Amino acid sequence: MAHQRVIVVGGGLAGLSTSMKLAEDGVAVDLFSLVPVKRSHSVCAQGGINACNEVARQQGYSEWEHFDETVFGGDFLANQPPVLEMTKMAPAIIDLLDRMGVPFSRTSEGNRDLRLFGGSLYKRTFYAGATTGQQLLYALDEQVRHHEVQGHITKYEFWDFLAPILDDAGRCVGIVAQDLRTMQIRAFRGDAVVMATGGNGLIFGQSTMSIICTGSGTARCYAAGARLGNPEFVQVHPTAIPGEDKCRLMSESARGEGGRIWVPKKKADSRHPNDIPENERDYFLERLYPKYKNIVPRDIATREIFYICEQGYGIGGGQMVYLDLTEKATGIPYEVLKGKLGGILEIYEKFVGVDPLIEPMRIYPAVHYSMGGLWVDFARDDKTGGMQKANPRNHMTNLTGLYAAGEADYQYHGANRLGANSLLSCIFTGLFAAPGMREYIKGQRPVAELSQRLFDGGVEQQQAAQAKLLNSKGTDNPYLMHRELGRAMSDNVTIIRCDSKLRQTLALIESLKERYQNNLGLPDSGMWNNQSLGFARACWDMLLLGEAVTTAALAREESRGSHYKIPDDLMDRHDIPLEKRSLPRDDGNWLKTTLVTYVDGKAQLSYEPVDTSLVTPRARNYGKVVAPAAAKAPVPEAAGAGT
């Protein structure tokens, strides 16, 4: 199979695991990355990676429990066979990573340590301090470098994916890409193409994501005919450092290791947090969720933080709460937490100038992850309930020969992702889908036999589009247009949503699209390392994705997971609790996957059923304690500090 080649776009964990597995199976790989592989956004993951092991199993945990937590945490919107397969394979993935040399944190006995993470009462999250993503990325990069030296993988760093190349039958047979230094545009043949380009957090302006996380790879496939799945489901992480340029993640591992979220019971309390006694603090997650406490799933913690601040109990009456890791709050010695959470503690101290083990962190939710992405298929195994191994359908989009993996696909997290499942899903998708790609290309005519005219045509099309951008003489700056988009998306399409604001956002996006096409002005028209050109392209991509997210959110008349909709007339009724204002989950009408297709310049919606063959959907509230109807204040002055 040496003459056959797969193109992998994206240098993060999903791209690396796919490339490694394909190379092991004898398939040549071209690996494309916007940045050096070791700078891919996967390096920013902090807290850990989920899997069952013998220690957790002795406590009553199992791969099935992990599966159930995942579909429950995702509010039952994920197809269950792929999730089951992922959780079954998780322990073997941990063993594999261990053998590769990942420096997992250890117990005093030398065993791989585990920590608590959201949505579970069991410790089932493996970790490497608070830099788990970095350690996994470096380990997989070493494997890819080995195959690169052997000639099995060719790496193209600082290359931008511009478009898939489709033959007359609609089969994906390659890509067009651009060298970001020389600006050369080239076509590359591929018997299959894998999109592993990550999420799209930048459409919200500020997020915890890197500046490269525009979703452009997904958008360019979407514009070429690939469907999106569930784009309306966007995760807002409960704990991040608000910033002018971006929001810096404070990992869920902080809460998993004992960190506690609280606000003063007195509104606009101006005292230093260390001077506020325990009985004058409201540990509101512990009060509302006495079973899960600070490790409720992210969508729930985010909304509770939003609501407590909406009521005026945020720090100084503003939009922040305390995340407390001090020994006074946690009872855990300074040096112990320093050893386990050093990575994130250094980030906080660097950007805020305060040691978070001495003074509580000030945090607020920020956009973090996209559960939606490119729609991908799967082949169910009726014997196991999981997926058929090495089936070409696994992870193929609706465009034949075009696959998606990692955060770029929609398959594993439903309406809300559990913390520490992202690293698992990225690595799992690459390892599991690669054998199916190998089987797919066995039955296809090699792309090496196709006419060169097809590939030259793809290059010419992109060169023409580039020339149009370079010759743009309008007055609309793409960076300012992006700022308008990001502000509207953050204000109207994140923690809580209502139809009037969604319609307002769609009207703005339509206006921005028209201005982009008729009045765009490019700040730089040079042909060497032109970053403005790349951002101008990405600005259009973000407009398309923003439209898809907002259109799907407007249509979904329910609240489910991260999608939390409130009727217009109740949107600003701060005297009514959020759960009393929101539309209820509606399994009868909305237990279905949103499909979005780009047709005639617009997002067109359709739907398909969700496979719930293994676990019947049930109520999802994590044991919330509901206050009496007569109680209007969310933080009773007499409430205890919690446990």
CB 194 within 8 A of CB 9: yes
Mapping DSSP onto H, E and C, the string for 84-98 reads HHHHHHHHHHHHHHH
Gap between the Cα atoms of 263 and 255, Å rounded? 15
- Looking at the predicted structure, is the pLDDT value of residue 159 above 80? yes
- Looking at the predicted structure, is the pLDDT value of residue 632 above 70? no
CB 228 within 8 A of CB 374: yes
Phi-psi region of 414 (alpha: psi -120 to 50; beta: other; left: phi over 0): left
Query: What distances in angstroms separate CA 425 from CA 98, 232, 320, 389, 421, one per listed residue?
Result: 17, 20, 31, 16, 6
Annotated catalytic sites, by residue?
298
**Higher pLDDT among residues 59 and 485, named by residue:** 485
Q: What is the pLDDT of residue 630?
A: 36
Query: Same domain for 109 and 213?
Result: yes
User: CA quadruple 127, 370, 33, 532: dihedral positive or negative?
Assistant: negative
Place of tokens 């293994």: 614
149-165 burial, b at 16+ Cβ within 10 Å, e below that, comes to eeebbebbbebbbbbbb
What proportion of the chain, given as a percentage, has pLDDT over 90?
A: 92
CATH code of the domain containing 330: 3.90.700.10
CB 189 within 8 A of CB 455: yes
Q: What is the pLDDT of residue 245?
A: 83
Residues facing 595 on adjacent strands = 229, 606
CB 549 within 8 A of CB 372: yes
625: tokens are 């304690």
Say how many CA atoms lie within 13 Å of 414 toward its Cβ.
32
- Mean pLDDT score, 523-529: 82
Q: How would you class 577 by CB atoms within 10 Å of its CB: exposed for 0-12, middle for 13-18, buried for 19 or more?
A: middle
**415: DSSP letter:** T
Report the interhelical angle of 63-73 vs 80-100 (nearest 10°).
120
One-letter amino acid of 555:
A
CB 533 within 8 A of CB 462: no
CB 175 within 8 A of CB 220: no
Please write the tens of the pLDDT for every residue from 99-122.
999 999 999 999 999 999 999 999
Query: Same domain for 335 and 349?
Result: yes
Please write the tens of the pLDDT for every residue from 4-24.
899 999 999 999 999 999 999
403: tokens are 């696959």
Query: Same domain for 36 and 80?
Result: yes
Gap between the Cα atoms of 378 and 137, Å rounded? 26
Query: Same domain for 124 and 198?
Result: yes
Mapping DSSP onto H, E and C, the string for 241-258 reads ECCCCCCEECCCHHHHCC
Q: Does the residue 498 lie in any domain?
A: yes
Query: Same domain for 286 and 403?
Result: no
- Mean pLDDT score, 26-42: 95
Domain span holding position 529: 472-600
Q: pLDDT grade, residue 222 (50/70/90)? A: very high
Q: How would you class 209 by CB atoms within 10 Å of its CB: exposed for 0-12, middle for 13-18, buried for 19 or more?
A: buried
Query: Same domain for 513 and 566?
Result: yes
Considering only CA atoms, which of 543, 541, 522, 542 is closest in space to residue 533? Answer: 522
* Residue 260 φ then ψ, to 5°: -125, 135
**89-92: long-range contacts, CB 8 A cutoff, minimum separation 24:** 89/428, 89/431, 89/432, 90/50, 90/51, 90/52, 90/63, 90/66, 90/424, 90/428, 91/51, 91/52, 91/53, 91/63
**Higher pLDDT among residues 529 and 483, named by residue:** 483
CATH code of the domain containing 489: 1.20.58.100
| Chosen domain end from 321, 348, 365 | 365
One-letter amino acid of 87:
T
- Mean pLDDT score, 43-53: 94
80-94 burial, b at 16+ Cβ within 10 Å, e below that, comes to bbbbbbbbbbbbebb
What proportion of the chain, given as a percentage, has pLDDT over 70?
A: 97
- Looking at the predicted structure, is the pLDDT value of residue 637 above 60? no
One-letter amino acid of 501:
K
Gap between the Cα atoms of 643 and 636, Å rounded? 16
Query: Same domain for 210 and 102?
Result: yes
Gap between the Cα atoms of 588 and 558, Å rounded? 11
Gap between the Cα atoms of 509 and 514, Å rounded? 9
- Mean pLDDT score, 174-190: 96
Q: What is the pLDDT of residue 642?
A: 32
Residues facing 282 on adjacent strands = 263
160: tokens are 């931008």
Q: Does the residue 627 lie in any domain?
A: no
Q: State the total domains in the chain.
A: 3
Query: What distances in angstroms separate CA 95 from CA 98, 103, 261, 387, 435, one per listed residue?
Result: 5, 12, 34, 21, 20
Query: Same domain for 477 and 559?
Result: yes
130: tokens are 């608070």
Gap between the Cα atoms of 370 and 294, Å rounded? 23
Gap between the Cα atoms of 286 and 294, Å rounded? 6
Q: Does the residue 170 lie in any domain?
A: yes
Q: What is the pLDDT of residue 431?
A: 98
Say how many CA atoms lie within 13 Å of 195 toward its Cβ.
35
Query: Same domain for 27 and 142?
Result: yes
Say how many CA atoms lie within 13 Å of 330 toward its Cβ.
25
Q: What is the pLDDT of residue 206?
A: 86
| Number of residues that make up the chain | 643
CB 537 within 8 A of CB 520: no
Count helices and strands in the chain by DSSP H and E runs: 18, 21
Q: Does the residue 415 lie in any domain?
A: yes
Q: Does the residue 467 lie in any domain?
A: no
Tell how strand 185-189 and strand 192-195 pair up: unpaired
User: CA quadruple 30, 33, 35, 40: dihedral positive or negative?
Assistant: negative
Query: Same domain for 102 and 145?
Result: yes
Q: Does the residue 613 lie in any domain?
A: no
Query: Same domain for 53 and 196?
Result: yes
Q: Does the residue 248 lie in any domain?
A: yes
Q: What is the pLDDT of residue 70?
A: 98
642: tokens are 């919690």
- Mean pLDDT score, 234-259: 94
Place of tokens 């001495």: 358
- Mean pLDDT score, 301-310: 97
Q: Does the residue 144 lie in any domain?
A: yes
| pTM summary value | 0.95
Per-position DSSP letters for 420-486, written without gaps between them: T-HHHHHHHHHHHHHHHHHHHHHTS--GGGS-HHHHHHHHHHHHHHHHHHHT-B-SB-HHHHHHHHH
- Looking at the predicted structure, is the pLDDT value of residue 3 above 90? no
CATH code of the domain containing 13: 3.50.50.60
- Mean pLDDT score, 299-323: 96
Gap between the Cα atoms of 278 and 53, Å rounded? 37
Please write the tens of the pLDDT for every residue from 509-522.
999 999 999 999 99
Tell how strand 192-195 and strand 5-9 pair up: parallel
- Rounded to the nearest integer, the mean pLDDT of the chain is 94
Report the interhelical angle of 531-555 vs 499-519 (nearest 10°).
150
- Mean pLDDT score, 359-386: 97
Gap between the Cα atoms of 107 and 548, Å rounded? 46
Q: What is the pLDDT of residue 306?
A: 97
Query: Same domain for 44 and 153?
Result: yes
Q: What is the pLDDT of residue 627?
A: 62
- Mean pLDDT score, 472-477: 94
- Mean pLDDT score, 154-163: 97
Tell how strand 234-241 and strand 49-50 pair up: unpaired
Please write the tens of the pLDDT for every residue from 586-619.
999 999 999 999 999 999 999 999 999 999 999 9
Question: For the chain, what is the radius of gyration of the CA atoms?
Answer: 24
- Looking at the predicted structure, is the pLDDT value of residue 641 above 80? no
Q: pLDDT grade, residue 640 (50/70/90)? A: very low
Q: How many CB atoms lie within 10 A of CB 319?
A: 14
- Looking at the predicted structure, is the pLDDT value of residue 176 above 80? yes
**Higher pLDDT among residues 54 and 327, named by residue:** 327
